[in-house]
Structure 1
Amino acid sequence: MARLQGKKALVYGGGTGIGFACAEAMVREGATVFLSGRREKVLAEARGKLKQHGRAGYAAGDATVAADVERVTRTAADYMGGIDTIVVSAGAGGRTPIFDTPVEEFRRITDHSLLPPFLAMRFGAEHLLKANGASVIVISSMFGLTGQKERAAYCAGKAGVIGLVKSAAMDFADKQVRVNAICPGFIETDLAIEVAKLEPNWEEVIEFKRRMHPIPRPGKLEEVGELAVYLAGDLAGFMTGQAIALDGGFTTR
């Protein structure tokens, strides 16, 4: 039997990259999924791919805007007949050395890390509580567990996500809702390439990132998706408040 048969998953950032990988892994395991993101065309294309394996819907919205998240949550619950799983794969990056980063850029990056999971849980809570066993999975980063030079905003945002996950896990713990974070190492997504291209020597940067882990390769999207399936499933019923590093050993050093 499929591991997520009957589950109903709302996936923010589900049109591409890690979010799509989580959605695809879940729908293959029997879940109904509902995608959200800012680009409707991208979502429509992603839904088309997922419908080969199961039931999928979508609604465009900005995960940093409360009204959008409230609307998306309501639409997803109507489409799926409830919500018992939320995946939040959202964020922004960029070079932000502590010495000269504009305040607006720091705020942009931290807002894109922190607001989506907070709003997703804030407006999804009523549905999660009705589900008789639910799971929230937030994508953080190995750089939420350790620092990175000239990435003050990104590290602050992703570390803040872990704090949010731990606190929310305690709020939900006696209500049959679990909250966990996945902290990937370098996964070679389109967004990762875009961020790297902000550097003048971006090809060297990408090659360094590919080999910076003790296991000297990038992580695979399928590996993140598999962990998300486990966290969404009933066999992870005793796991909450955790920040799970999927980083080829990077944070063990």
Structure 2
Amino acid sequence: MSLAHQGQRFLVSGGASGIGLAVARLALARGARVCLLDRDRATLEAVCGELGDGAFAAVCDVADPLAVGAAVAQAAEQLGGIDALVNSAGIDSRMPLEQLSDAEWARTLAVNLTGPMLLCRAALPHLRGAGGGTIVNVSSGAGLSPLLHRTAYCASKAGVIMFGKALAIEVAPDNIRVNAVCPGAVDTPLFRTSYEQSADPERDLELIRQRYALHRIAQPEELAEAILYLSGPGSSYITGTALAVDGGRTFH
């Protein structure tokens, strides 16, 4: 296993499951130390116990400004600084606009767009203090092309792409790079919940596969590889980009 991230200090939101957990596992395996943020205390503590040395936990709702500030400060203390931020926490929203409540619209944008903003804002002083660093925002293919009945979700994921591009310009003089990954369907708890409640989950899953040139669903570890690449020295001349990691969905 490569130790390309030896000594790097990662802060990963949404770290208790899915893509965030895969990022934490891979970063630890490559020599990094990781603080995982999540609002599910029990799961977060269990995950950190499983991950072992080098893994730390901070309980946080990413949509709560005060909680974010406290969690980032805690993470920086636990890790001795922050070199890399991965904004992986997110929620889904699926319904026609006329059925979309004000509360669901607000919550979707609060978690998927305001959350990354709050974490970036709180982490920037620590990244500067480290002499520079990286930010990777987990957006979605839905931020690049629209999906039916997903107005709130698409708006939030497109917003985080442009937020990252604007921030990349702002913090480039500080040697901080900001990028996004845009996954398609990934085999995570969030994705499985979206189709397992249907009348025929296997049929629906096959219909989803057919949308992708590679005709399969991504594994979280495949997204983690892309995120670690954008967080490491091999991508030192890449900033302000949105990398589609979607099995060919956007052109298929």
* Same fold, judged at TM 0.5 (above): yes
Equivalent residue, structure 2, for 1:128: 127
Question: How is 1:32-111 mapped onto 2 (pairs within 5 angstroms)?
Answer: 32-51=33-52, 54-111=53-110
Equivalent residue, structure 2, for 1:6: 7
- C-alpha distance in structure 1 between counterparts of 2:148 and 2:138, whole Å: 21
Equivalent residue, structure 2, for 1:238: 237
Deviations 1:14-48 (A, max 9, x none): 01000000111111111000011001111112112
Calculate the aligned-residue CA RMSD, in Å: 1.4
SS of structure 2 residue aligned to 1:251: coil
Deviations 1:67-124 (A, max 9, x none): 1110110101001100010111111112231233222222221221101110011111
- C-alpha distance in structure 1 between counterparts of 2:130 and 2:17, whole Å: 27
- C-alpha distance in structure 2 between counterparts of 1:237 and 1:21, whole Å: 22
CA, structure 1 residues 198+172, in 2 after alignment: closer, same or farther (shift >3 Å)? farther
Report the residue type matching 2:205 in the other structure. I
Of 95-104 and 199-208, the range deviating more from structure 2: 199-208
- Stretches of structure 1 lacking an aligned partner (at least 5 in a row): none
Question: How is 1:134-145 mapped onto 2 (pairs within 5 angstroms)?
Answer: 134-145=133-144
Q: Number of paired residues?
A: 251
- C-alpha distance in structure 2 between counterparts of 1:31 and 1:59, whole Å: 17
Of 212-221 and 93-102, the range deviating more from structure 2: 93-102
- C-alpha distance in structure 2 between counterparts of 1:126 and 1:140, whole Å: 23
- C-alpha distance in structure 1 between counterparts of 2:64 and 2:81, whole Å: 22
Of 29-38 and 108-117, the range deviating more from structure 2: 108-117
Deviations 1:204-234 (A, max 9, x none): 3333223320110001111111111111111
Equivalent residue, structure 2, for 1:165: 164
Please say if 1:15 is aligned against 2:8.
Answer: no
Q: Is the 8 A contact 2:15 2:89 kept in 1?
A: no
Percent identity between the two aligned chains: 35
Q: Is the 8 A contact 1:193 1:206 kept in 2?
A: no
Equivalent residue, structure 2, for 1:28: 29
Report the residue type matching 1:158 in the other structure. K
Shift of 1:175: 0.8
Of 188-197 and 9-18, the range deviating more from structure 2: 188-197
SS of structure 2 residue aligned to 1:252: coil
SS of structure 2 residue aligned to 1:129: helix
Q: Is the 8 A contact 1:14 1:37 kept in 2?
A: yes
Q: Is the 8 A contact 1:94 1:195 kept in 2?
A: no
Shift of 1:199: 4.6
